[in-house]
Amino acid sequence: MNGATASTPSTPASSKRADDLAIDVRGLTKRYDGRAVVDDVALQLRAGRICGFLGPNGSGKTTTIRMLCGLLTPDAGEGTCLGFDLRREGLKIKRQVGYMTQKFGLYEDLSIRQNLDFIARLFELDQRTQRVDAALDRLGLTTRAQQLAGSLSGGWKQRLALAACLLHEPRLLLLDEPTAGVDPKARREFWDEIHRLAAEGITVLVSTHYMDEAERCHELAYIAYGQLLARGTESEIIEQAALTVWAVQAPGAPALLSGLLAPLKQAPGVLSVAAFGSSVHVAGQDGAALDTAIAPYRQRPELHWSRAEPNLEDVFISLIGRAPDNMGPAVAAAPRRTTP
């Protein structure tokens, strides 16, 4: 559903008033060396919502985020961020957006307080000491204020980075894989904070590779090879994918299961074959074709087959299988692809 937006049960498209939308862009495109790494993306996000931005490595998430906050100029597309025109009002957007980059971007040889004070000066904020104190307090950093940023663990660094991008009281947070490499407890605390911010009316677009984080979002956008392939709530995305999923187990020889089923990945009708714990999920959209593909394997006595409910990961793996690959050699004036 490239270029389309999906409504959610609580936010029918008709009720999306323009002034409700923190992000409202369409046709967003960025090309490098003739290759569209972001291709005709449309995204609408209502104020106060948390949207998870998912997709495989190199699918265009960072590039999209950088276009949204005015750091990159799109080659095509238009729209607004926080009501400001993406092309003409980049500076106004930057002043009201908190952008957390994938890589820790603060000074490792400055203390937490010095880093925050530096950011406050960059933004020319008034009442700097009070703002820095409040940010330290909010993120539980007060007792560590004098600690060098470089000596912090991954989780604390992310907390500091979040504090830094909140200092100027942004209305929209663009978080690029904020919890990559962070342990589960720190990730949970980070997400609790994200939800508190959303409850205060801040809009959040957050890229992640973690399915448990996807499940904590109000809505999701899935991008592969630069094209937005799915958009909506978790249940809407699962429903739209219309997958049939079989779960297979091999109680006598679980280690052999993945290898045994590997040829199925190439079979007509099979969109994904993926291990989940002691099971392997085999998924496809055409139930009859899927049945034909798995028929030879269903005869095997060591394999136990049962129908399973599709989950988000089944859907995303299947979507990649169906997406057109843009990683090949660039074609100067390539014809527009149609979305599966």
Ligand X SMILES: Nc1ncnc2c1ncn2[C@@H]1O[C@H](COP(=O)(O)OP(=O)(O)OP(=O)(O)O)[C@@H](O)[C@H]1O
> Which residue in this structure is represented by tokens 């028929």?
295
Task: With contacts defined by CB under 6 A, name the span among 53-61, 183-191, 210-218, 265-273 that binds ligand X.
Answer: 53-61
Smallest CA-to-CA distance from 174 within 199, 126, 208, 211 is with: 208
In whole angstroms, the minimum distance from the beta carbon of 233 to ligand X comes to: 22
In whole angstroms, the minimum distance from the beta carbon of 66 to ligand X comes to: 8
**The only residue of 6, 37, 197, 202 in contact with ligand X, by rule CB under 6 A:** 37
**Is residue 208 at the binding interface for ligand X, with CB under 6 A as the rule?**
no
C-alpha dihedral (317, 318, 324, 325), degrees to nearest 10: 20
**The only residue of 2, 63, 158, 208 in contact with ligand X, by rule CB under 6 A:** 63
**Is residue 32 at the binding interface for ligand X, with CB under 6 A as the rule?**
yes
Give the DSSP letter of residue 137: H
Half-sphere exposure at residue 4, Cβ-oriented, CA atoms within 13 angstroms: 11
Task: With contacts defined by CB under 6 A, name the span among 7-15, 58-66, 81-89, 166-174 that binds ligand X.
Answer: 58-66
Q: Which is nearer to ligand X, 36 or 167 (CB)?
A: 36
Q: Which is nearer to ligand X, 61 or 281 (CB)?
A: 61
Helix, strand and coil percent figures for the chain, each rounded to 5: 35, 25, 35
Q: Which is nearer to ligand X, 11 or 62 (CB)?
A: 62
Q: Which is nearer to ligand X, 32 or 276 (CB)?
A: 32
DSSP for 282-337 reads EEES-HHHHHHHHHHHHT-TT-EEEEE---HHHHHHHHHHHSPP--S---TTPPPP
**The only residue of 44, 62, 158, 203 in contact with ligand X, by rule CB under 6 A:** 62
> Which residue in this structure is represented by tokens 């009442």?
127
In whole angstroms, the minimum distance from the beta carbon of 58 to ligand X comes to: 4
Q: Are 305 and 246 in contact (CB under 8 A)?
A: yes
In whole angstroms, the minimum distance from the beta carbon of 31 to ligand X comes to: 9
**Is residue 60 at the binding interface for ligand X, with CB under 6 A as the rule?**
yes
Q: Which is nearer to ligand X, 103 or 307 (CB)?
A: 103
In whole angstroms, the minimum distance from the beta carbon of 44 to ligand X comes to: 20
Give the DSSP letter of residue 244: E
Q: Residue 59, SS3?
A: coil
Please report, as ranges, the residues that interact with ligand X according to CB under 6 A. 32, 37, 55, 57-63
